[in-house]
């Protein structure tokens, strides 16, 4: 492909920091670089505690353990999301309850959440699709009134905000991803953010195989031992060293992506005016990190022809998601509340355009290809 869909951006300092980690002879987790990364997250996001994990999936699994979910407990979430949003809870025997998304932001429709609450409901998982915030004030208010935990799936949301608050700082818990397809990357990687300090100590224990090793290393206890359920959720220092190089450049990376996103948005305005496609919507109280540029096309047939025509012009475009409520595992482990018409419609019509640091003039090439592909 002349223009690939994604191209991981490297700042140039990754190998330098990895060589420092190598020189420190501390290769396991929770060394100097892990500390720097978690402090950076705590300062930039304003969460109480940030714990690096080996993926966002791992952070979601930790959140499901922290929420003390058991078999039959219910978790409300959108169907239009990545599988890990649901899988983490299914692993605990909980039931994902899928509700529809809003037609504008493609985020969970907050007006449909209350109808999905039953005596078994324990948590709500809003997913900030494309790095654009869910309607968090309404969601937090529902959670407060029904005594539910809110776990933000902020896999795509680093450096975005809602009413001036960073995504990941609003729910009781939040999960980030540093997968190479996200904005700030370490290959595989993630973080659990803790905003309700009630969860802080247990989160550390779950992450360290169910032991109080973190407290032992801080000199708070004189031996460490098995205290709780847990697993190994922490990344090694080489990953954290890579990630540190990215965090140092996080503002520049975000600005560059926003530039590309803005150019797409301007160049595609007339396409929308002529009814050929629909562009993303950003609510006025949100700033976003330009994680994704997507188009909504008229129907599935147009989208299939579009992806083929783009490919013929050397431009890779992709679609997602197969809605979880209609996937084999979703049918087996979850259930839907109400109709999921927006979800079903969007899943057939959405296509993502290439967006990566270094794309530069490629944005114009892509838009010219869009013009030709739509005929």
Ligand X SMILES: *Cc1c(COP(=O)(O)O)cnc(C)c1O
Choice from 34, 38, 84, 161 touching ligand X (CB under 6 A) = 84
Choice from 156, 214, 287, 317 touching ligand X (CB under 6 A) = 156
Q: What CA–CA distances, in Å, run from 143 to 79, 124, 125, 139, 220?
A: 19, 7, 11, 6, 34
Q: Which residues contact residue 92 at a Cβ distance below 8 angstroms, ignoring those fewer than 6 apart?
A: 64, 65, 69, 70, 71, 73
Distance separating alpha carbons of residues 360 and 375, to the nearest angstrom: 25
Least distance (Å) between residue 167 CB and ligand X = 12
Choice from 3, 50, 52, 56 touching ligand X (CB under 6 A) = 56
Decide: is 38 part of the binding site for ligand X (CB under 6 A): no
Least distance (Å) between residue 368 CB and ligand X = 29
Choice from 34, 38, 81, 195 touching ligand X (CB under 6 A) = 81
Considering beta carbons, is residue 179 or 349 the nearer one to ligand X? 179
CB 126 within 8 A of CB 139: yes
Considering beta carbons, is residue 55 or 317 the nearer one to ligand X? 55
Q: Which stretch binds ligand X (CB under 6 A): 22-30, 153-161, 226-234, 278-286?
A: 153-161
Choice from 97, 116, 127, 158 touching ligand X (CB under 6 A) = 127
Least distance (Å) between residue 270 CB and ligand X = 30
Least distance (Å) between residue 82 CB and ligand X = 4
In this structure, the number of other CB atoms found within 10 A of the CB of residue 258 comes to 15
Q: Is 26 exposed, middle or buried (0-12, 13-18, 19+ CB in 10 A)?
A: middle
- How far from the centroid of its chain's Cα atoms is residue 34's Cα? 20
CB 370 within 8 A of CB 268: yes
Choice from 9, 17, 82, 242 touching ligand X (CB under 6 A) = 82
Q: Is 187 left (phi over 0), alpha (psi -120 to 50) or beta?
A: left
Least distance (Å) between residue 124 CB and ligand X = 15
Considering beta carbons, is residue 33 or 82 the nearer one to ligand X? 82
Decide: is 34 part of the binding site for ligand X (CB under 6 A): no
What are the φ/ψ torsions at residue 309 (nearest 5 degrees)? -65, -35
Residue 213 is encoded by which pair of tokens? Answer: 């090793």
Across the beta sheet with 286-287, what order do the strands follow? 165-166, 161-162, 286-287
Choice from 102, 112, 179, 325 touching ligand X (CB under 6 A) = 179
Map residues 183-212 to x or -, x wherever contact with ligand X holds by CB under 6 A: -------x----------------------
Decide: is 155 part of the binding site for ligand X (CB under 6 A): yes
Least distance (Å) between residue 106 CB and ligand X = 11
Q: Which DSSP state fits 286?
A: E
Decide: is 161 part of the binding site for ligand X (CB under 6 A): no
Distance separating alpha carbons of residues 346 and 103, to the nearest angstrom: 8
CB 81 within 8 A of CB 321: yes
Least distance (Å) between residue 318 CB and ligand X = 13
Q: Which stretch binds ligand X (CB under 6 A): 51-59, 158-166, 197-205, 362-370?
A: 51-59
* Omega prior to 321 cis, within 30 of 0: yes
Interface residues toward ligand X, by CB under 6 A: 55-57, 81-82, 84-85, 127, 153, 155-156, 177, 179, 190
């Amino acid at each position: 492909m002349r223009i690939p869909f994604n191209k991981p951006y490297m700042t140039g300092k990754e190998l330098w920091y990895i060589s420092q980690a190598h020189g420190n002879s501390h290769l396991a987790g929770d060394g100097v670089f892990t500390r720097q990364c978690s402090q950076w997250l705590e300062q930039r996001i304003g969460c109480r505690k940030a714990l690096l994990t080996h993926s966002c999936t791992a952070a979601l699994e930790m959140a499901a353990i922290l929420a003390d979910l058991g078999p039959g407990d219910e978790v409300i979430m959108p169907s239009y999301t990545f599988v890990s949003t649901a899988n983490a809870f299914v692993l605990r025997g909980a039931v994902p309850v899928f509700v529809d998304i809003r037609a504008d932001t493609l985020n969970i429709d907050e007006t449909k959440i209350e109808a999905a609450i039953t005596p078994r409901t324990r948590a709500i998982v809003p997913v900030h699709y494309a790095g654009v915030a869910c309607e968090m004030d309404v969601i937090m208010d529902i959670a407060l009134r029904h005594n539910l935990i809110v776990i933000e799936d902020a896999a795509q949301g680093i450096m975005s905000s809602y009413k001036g608050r960073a995504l990941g700082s609003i729910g009781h818990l939040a999960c980030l991803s540093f997968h190479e397809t996200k904005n700030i990357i370490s290959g595989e990687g993630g973080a659990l953010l803790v905003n309700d300090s009630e969860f802080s100590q247990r989160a550390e224990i779950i992450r360290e195989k169910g032991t109080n090793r973190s407290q032992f290393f801080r000199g708070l206890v004189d031996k460490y031992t098995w205290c709780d359920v847990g697993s190994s959720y922490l990344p090694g220092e080489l990953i954290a060293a890579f990630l540190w190089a990215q965090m140092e450049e996080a503002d520049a990376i975000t600005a560059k992506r926003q530039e590309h996103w803005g150019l797409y948005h301007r160049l595609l305005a007339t396409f929308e005016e002529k009814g050929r496609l629909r562009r993303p919507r950003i609510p006025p109280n949100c700033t976003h990190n330009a994680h994704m540029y997507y188009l909504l096309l008229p129907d599935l047939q147009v989208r299939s022809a579009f992806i083929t025509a783009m490919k013929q012009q050397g431009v890779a475009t992709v679609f997602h998601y197969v809605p979880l409520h209609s996937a084999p595992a979703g049918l087996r482990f979850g259930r839907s509340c109400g109709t999921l018409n927006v979800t079903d419609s969007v899943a057939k019509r959405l296509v993502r355009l290439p967006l990566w640091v270094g794309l530069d003039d490629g944005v114009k090439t892509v838009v010219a290809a869009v013009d030709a592909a739509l005929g």
